[in-house]
Amino acid sequence: MAVRVYNTLTRSLEALEPRVDQGSTLSLYTCGPTVYAHAHIGNFRAYVFEDLLQRHLQARGFIVQRVMNITDVDDKTIRGAHAAGISLGEFTAPFKKAFFEDVATLSLLKAETYPEATDPVEIARMIAMIRTLMERGHAYEAEDGSVYFRIASFPDYGKLAHVNLEGQRPGQRVASDEYDKEAVADFALWKSWVPEDGAVGWESPWGRGRPGWHIECSAMAAGRLGETIDIHCGGVDNIFPHHEAEIAQCECAGLRQAPFVRYWMHCAHLMVEGSKMAKSAGNFFTLRDLLEKGWCGREVRYVLLGVHYRAALNFTMEGLGAARTALARLDGWNARLIEVAGSSAGIEAPEAATEEFYTTLDDDLNISGALAVLFETVRESNRRMDRGELTPEQARGLLAWYEGVNSVLALEPHHEKEEMPAEVEELIAARAAARTAKEWKLSDELRDRLATFGWIVKDTKDGQRVNKN
């Protein structure tokens, strides 16, 4: 069975197929964080859903080429830098770093690249795209040097969100103190510099200014992945206007005027007591808040993963408690299997469960079904172990199966590996050099030094294996 996903554009389940000339490669663009604060776990619900998608597609043999942008210039980042009295770059740097630490804590696969909106290469792409839009009549410059997208020039505007914008079509010129736009819904491609922007700004054909948020994603997505992207994800709040605007910009500026995205996938919100978890609502937890309360990354991952991505997920502490129990069950089962498997050789896959976990996920990432397959396998094989009926070979087969399952779920404890500090990396490199030079005394000393940092080295036939104590 092919992998099927729900496409927001067509409002239907569709078989996910690569383009004919792309072999088994699928390109995936995921809207990334705005680095003005620590991402909250609502944001991470979106990133965990995208991670599950990528991991499952990889398990099904696709090559996933994923790009995630970093929004490091917008109203919020500028405001934050101004309030802190530091430069934009100084303000966003610690939040970028924290984001990547959180990515590691939640065992999220890294994207191939993380383009940043302030990168001069990206800014140049944005300016070029805006220029093309103006040349083709899809954009216009306002008196203050801001540039707007003319939505009246793109009849398809609204096709993703399925909204009717008739009321905002031509003839509806608006006079506003704030904007100098032809129509209310026209959105900014380029925002001319204002004193509150301080040192933030780039020169452009329309004077000093900065890009609008939507053009940032369009330019980075098309620049890195080409005019047509296979899959584009985000949370449902991104559908309108952000993704609608991305479509308008890319489809109007492209050379081939090809569809910008083939499959749009959006996850429902993480909720707290009936409301969307959001920074503005003040009802949010960051990952760090939860770690401080004694929860760990895999428990948070389990909670965010465990409900189908298109269903709202209500976040509670009880949910985290249930995740802890479920993971303890998996760990206990895994430990028992290891014991039963002993040192037996040969791998035999268990009969029933082998494919079902994957075929269940093929159905629009049916995670509850897939977890049910996993826990049914646990229950069934625990029972066989209770009766002493599971052979070492079967235990080995189940361990191999669980390894495959974890390439998708990433729930095993060793994924919580601590980031290796630079000095530990240096000691490991020095020890590798010492061993190559057969300086055994130095090698032993370096091993002891590593132990003082809490890192244990084992020498294997493939070289040093280092683990946090």
Beta carbon nearer to ligand AMP, 110 or 383: 110
d(CA 467, CA 417): 8
DSSP 177-210: SS---SSTT--EEEEE--GGGTT--B--TT-SEE
Q: Judged by CB under 6 A, does residue 43 bind ligand AMP?
A: yes
d(CA 281, CA 119): 31
Strands 463-468 and 12-15: unpaired
For residue 135, give both structure tokens: 């040349």
Work out how close the CB of 144 gets to ligand AMP at its nearest, in angstroms, rounded to a whole number.
26
Question: Binding string, 186-225, against ligand AMP, x = CB under 6 A?
Answer: ----------------------------------------
User: What angle separates helix 392-409 from helix 367-386, to the nearest 10 degrees?
Assistant: 160
Distances (CA, A) of 251 to 99, 136, 246, 248: 31, 12, 8, 5
Query: Do the beta carbons of residue 26 and residue 61 sit within 8 Å?
Result: no
Rounded to a whole number of angstroms, the distance between the first and last alpha carbons of the chain is 44
Work out how close the CB of 30 gets to Zn ion at its nearest, in angstroms, rounded to a whole number.
8
Residue from 70, 81, 134, 217 touching Zn ion (CB under 5 A): that is 217
User: 124: which DSSP letter?
Assistant: H
Q: Judged by CB under 6 A, does residue 55 bind ligand AMP?
A: no
Question: Binding string, 359-398, against ligand AMP, x = CB under 6 A?
Answer: ----------------------------------------
Work out how close the CB of 227 gets to Zn ion at its nearest, in angstroms, rounded to a whole number.
17
Beta carbon nearer to ligand AMP, 42 or 241: 42
Residue 217 binds which one of Zn ion, ligand AMP, none, with CB within 5 to 8 A depending on kind?
Zn ion
Distances (CA, A) of 288 to 98, 105, 295, 300, 413: 9, 10, 9, 11, 18
Residue from 270, 305, 323, 395 touching ligand AMP (CB under 6 A): that is 270
Q: Judged by CB under 6 A, does residue 276 bind ligand AMP?
A: yes
Residue 33 binds which one of ligand AMP, Zn ion, none, with CB within 5 to 8 A depending on kind?
ligand AMP
Work out how close the CB of 48 gets to Zn ion at its nearest, in angstroms, rounded to a whole number.
18
Residue from 3, 5, 31, 303 touching ligand AMP (CB under 6 A): that is 31
Q: Judged by CB under 5 A, does residue 70 bind Zn ion?
A: no
d(CA 455, CA 468): 5
Work out how close the CB of 212 gets to ligand AMP at its nearest, in angstroms, rounded to a whole number.
14
Query: Do the beta carbons of residue 248 and residue 260 sit within 8 Å?
Result: no
Task: Please choose, from the candidates 424, 435, 425, the residue with its C-alpha nearest in 3D space to the C-alpha of residue 460.
Answer: 435
Q: Judged by CB under 5 A, does residue 31 bind Zn ion?
A: yes
Q: Judged by CB under 5 A, does residue 219 bind Zn ion?
A: no
Work out how close the CB of 143 gets to ligand AMP at its nearest, in angstroms, rounded to a whole number.
30
Q: Is 114 helix (H, G, I), strand (E, B) or coil?
A: coil
Considering only residues 219 through 248, tell me which ones interact with ligand AMP, judged by CB under 6 A: 234-235, 237-238
d(CA 314, CA 292): 21
Q: Is 341 helix (H, G, I), strand (E, B) or coil?
A: helix
- Residues whose CB falls within 8 Å of the CB of residue 153, separated by 6 or more in sequence, listed in order: 137, 138, 252
Work out how close the CB of 213 gets to Zn ion at its nearest, in angstroms, rounded to a whole number.
7
Query: Do the beta carbons of residue 104 and residue 419 sit within 8 Å?
Result: yes
Q: Judged by CB under 6 A, does residue 277 bind ligand AMP?
A: yes
Beta carbon nearer to Zn ion, 53 or 320: 53
Query: Do the beta carbons of residue 409 and residue 327 sit within 8 Å?
Result: no
Residue 277 binds which one of Zn ion, ligand AMP, none, with CB within 5 to 8 A depending on kind?
ligand AMP
Write out the residues near Zn ion by the rule CB under 5 A: 31, 217
Residues that bind ligand AMP (CB under 6 A): 31, 33-34, 42-43, 45-46, 234-235, 237-238, 267, 269-270, 276-278
